[in-house]
Amino acid sequence: MAEVNTDGGGGGKHEKKRAKKSSTRIDMTPMVDLAFLLLTFFVLTSTFAKPKTMEINYPAKPEDDKDQIKVNNALTFILSKENAVFYYYGEFYPAGNEKGMAPTTLTKTDFSDEGLHKLLLDRNKPTTVAIDALTEKLKRKEIVDTTYKRLVNREKGSKEALTVLIKADDQAVYKNVIDVIDELNICNIGKYAVVDMGAKENELLKATSK
């Protein structure tokens, strides 16, 4: 014992040997720290939400004004400032028109479920009913999903289906246009277009929103 105490080097060696034997495992804590640091970094820098898109076709420019087809079952939305939505059904007749039709009036609605959504479902009842029936069939597995898609598309494009025109004045925001298109998609309306507003319609809009 005395030898060990006086001989520092020998004692050290002896202790080292013992220490080596006892610690066969390494301290993992710094490694865990590093791993979680990296983990946090990647979680924060990665973007989860992949952008989603809606596809839309814009109408080609008509060659001349005569090309414009008459739309029978058409609903026209007019968007304006402060999230206002107006609509009219059928063709547009300005006040004092040559044909002697009653002038078109704009009705106001909003983006709530009771407003736009209800209006579209009501106006598009035949198509909605037909598509509901198809969905029921799909659920009971009477038709396969490819057939279902085809039939739904045919139903959306049928003559009875509602056509919607979206017009925005120079104060409407883009969000409202998207909201309307989205609502049309929800309500199974396949025929819609974003078009320019006529001067007469603009006058009527200004008179109505006053």
Partner 1 sequence: MAEVQSSKGSPSLDMTPMVDLAFLLVTFFMLTATSRVTEPVVVDTPSSTADKLLPKNVILISIDDKGKPFYNINNSEVRKKTLQKMGQQYQITFTEKELQTFGGMTSIGVPMAKLKEYINMEDAQRVAKPSPGIPHDSLHNELGDWIQFGRIEAAKQAKTEEERAEKLGREFKYEPLRYAIKADGQSNYIAVKEIIKVFTDIDIYRFNLITDLEQGPVVAK
The distance from CA 127 to its chain's CA centroid, rounded to whole angstroms, is 22
Of 98 and 196, nearer to partner 1 (C-beta) is 196
**CA 161 centroid distance within chain:** 22
Pattern of binders to partner 1 over 59-98, x per CB under 8 A? xxx-----------------x-------------------
Least distance CB 119 / partner 1 (angstroms): 14
**Does residue number 140 form part of the binding site for partner 1 (CB under 8 A)?**
no
- Name the residue with tokens 């704009």: 106
- For the bound state, the minimum distance from the C-beta of residue 97 to partner 1, rounded and expressed in Å, comes to 27
Burial status of residue 106 (CB atoms within 10 A of its CB: 0-12, 13-18, 19 or more)? buried
- Closest by alpha carbon to 176, among 87, 91, 93, 51? 87
* Interaction between residue 178 and partner 1 (CB under 8 A): yes
Question: Per rule CB under 8 A, is residue 56 in the interface with partner 1?
Answer: yes
Q: Is 49 in the site for partner 1 (CB under 8 A)?
A: yes
What's the full length of the chain, in residues?
210
Number of shown-chain residues binding partner 1 (CB under 8 A): 50
Helix axes 145-156, 125-139, angle to 10 degrees: 180
Q: Which region, judged by CB under 8 A, interacts with partner 1, from 54-62, 70-78, 157-165, 201-209? A: 54-62
Distance CA 59, CA 46 (A): 38
Nearer to partner 1 (CB atom), residue 56 or residue 207 = 56
Q: What whole-number distance in Å separates Cα of residue 32 and Cα of residue 28?
A: 6
Angle at 117 between CA 52 and CA 130, to 5 degrees: 90
Does 35 bind partner 1 (CB under 8 A)? Our answer is yes
Q: What minimum distance in Å lies between the beta carbon of 146 and partner 1? A: 17
| Residue 53 engages partner 1 in binding (rule: CB under 8 A) | yes
**Looking at beta carbons only, is 3 or 64 nearer to partner 1?**
64
Which is it for strands 85-89 and 74-79: parallel, antiparallel or unpaired?
antiparallel
Question: Which parts of this chain interact with partner 1 (CB under 8 A)?
Answer: 28-29, 31-32, 35-36, 38-39, 42-43, 45-47, 49-61, 79, 113, 117, 131-132, 135, 168, 170-179, 181-182, 185-188, 196
